[in-house]
Amino acid sequence: MTFKPVKKAIFPVAGLGTRFLPATKALPKEMLPIVDKPLIQYAVEEARDAGIEQFIFVTGRGKGAMEDHFDHAVELEQVLTERDKLDDLQTVQTCSPPPGQLAYVRQQKPLGLGHAVWCGRNFIGDEPFAVLSADDLILAEPGCLKQMIEVYNQVGGNVVAVEDVPREHTNRYGILDIESDDGKIAKAKALIEKPDPKDAPSTLSIIGRYILQPAVLRELDKHETGVGGEIQLTDAMASLIGSTDFHGTRFEGKRFDCGSRLGFIEANIAFALSRDDMAEGVSSILKEYG
Ligand code: G1P
């Protein structure tokens, strides 16, 4: 069986990033760098490498730096050309997807992840789509979304990336109630958003990568609120179980929660160590602090 290809992706980037104040007072949290590249660029590159051709940013007030980042920087490019800094020029020019592939829509009120995704609905139409959270940064080869698309091509329906978390952390994630599990792909019979550890049906948690059918958007049309009074994406996906298969897939690679300060610092270290031009220098710095 062949399933409709996934060519569109939504990036919910309206969050305030209060855990990184004051850095995020005037700077979108998605622009914080891991080594020398903003978080959002990692997510866009992961999507592009997975075959995504339309990038839909659900943004908010004060997020303009992201639009500039994915645009031509005319003066900078001119100076780099004049100075013959061709490597830097290429770095700057290859940031952005081709013209017309990026769209921005504002989430005017912070009503939850489900609401953010719903704000992108008119760009999605009747096609499957991906959702990528830039906070969840994944060091993987091939990228996490590409791995997920391979699984989606086998099972169709809704597919999310999952990983096991310590039981005391279940109240931070959407959690799968598992029907069957082959060790890589788990089929869910229900989903619960941020359950108390004592109530969690498993410790298999959703991380910020989704492949979704457009039916999810019809569920989100209802604007039903859940945990925290927010419109939850997890609830909309859960309502479809029964009519649309739901699978969680484990992935090869390491995820960093860059919405937390420690996760962000760890990601910087791990990404630097994974680079030929930085590994040696960073290891020797780490030894000093060991
Ligand atoms: C959101 C989702 C949650 C998911 C998590 C992954 O929560 O609601 O189900 O597990 O993203 O990062 P948030 O982190 O926005 O609170």
DSSP secondary structure of 101-166: SEEEEE--S---HHHHHHHTHHHHTTS-EEEE-TTEEEE-SS-HHHHHHHHHHHH-SEEEEEEE--
CA-CA distances (angstroms) from residue 206 to 5, 34, 170? 22, 23, 10
What counts of helices (H) and strands (E) characterise the chain? 11, 13
Query: What pLDDT is attached to residue 13?
Result: 97
Q: Which domain holds residue 51?
A: 8-289
Other beta carbons within 10 angstroms of residue 163's beta carbon come to 18
- Checking DSSP bridges between strand 246-249 and strand 158-164, what pairing results, if any? parallel
170 C-beta closer than 6 A to ligand 1: no
CB atoms within 10 A of CB 216: 25
The answer to the question of residue 3 being in a domain is: no
Residue 236 within any structural domain of the chain: yes
CATH code, 149: 3.90.550.10
In a domain, 1, yes or no: no
Asked if residue 12 has a cis previous peptide bond (ω within 30° of 0), the answer is no
- Ligand 1 atom nearest residue 135's Cα: 12
- So what's the pLDDT on residue 190? 97
**How much helix, strand and coil, in percent to the nearest 5, is found in the chain?**
40, 25, 40
> Residue 239: inside a domain, yes or no?
yes
Mutation probe of ligand 1 site: the residue of 206, 209, 230, 255 with most atoms within 8 A of C-beta = 206
What is the distance between the alpha carbons of residues 24 and 285, in angstroms, rounded to a whole number?
27
pLDDT score, position 57: 98
Query: How far does residue 95's CA lie from ligand 1's centre (Å)?
Result: 27
- 120 domain residue, yes or no: yes
Q: Is 206 in the pocket of ligand 1 (CB under 6 A)?
A: yes
Residue 223, pLDDT score? 93
- CB-based contact 251:185 (threshold 8 Å): no
What's this model's pTM, rounded to 2 decimal places?
0.96
**Structurally, how many domains does the chain consist of?**
1
Query: CA–CA separation, 256 vs 272, rounded Å?
Result: 13
219 Cβ inside 6 Å of ligand 1: no
In a domain, 238, yes or no: yes
Query: Are the CB atoms for 13 and 40 separated by under 8 Å?
Result: yes
pLDDT along the chain (290 residues), means of 10: 93 93 95 97 98 97 94 93 95 90 95 97 96 98 98 97 97 97 96 97 98 97 93 97 96 97 97 96 93
173 Cβ inside 6 Å of ligand 1: yes
Q: Is residue 2 part of a domain?
A: no
* Separation of alpha carbons 275 and 263, rounded Å: 18
Query: Which residues, 6 or more positions from 248, have their beta carbon under 8 angstroms from its beta carbon?
Result: 159, 160, 161, 162, 176, 185, 186, 188, 204, 206
Do the beta carbons of residue 138 and residue 46 sit within 8 Å?
Answer: yes
Q: What is the residue whose two structure tokens read 């939504």? A: 10
Cβ–Cβ < 8 Å for 252, 163: no
Ligand 1 center to residue 10 CA distance, Å?
A: 15
CA distance 39 to 67: 14
> Is 113 close to ligand 1, i.e. is its CB under 6 Å away?
yes
CA dist., res. 102 & res. 193, Å (int): 30
Whole-number Å distance, alpha carbon 64 to ligand 1 midpoint, is 24
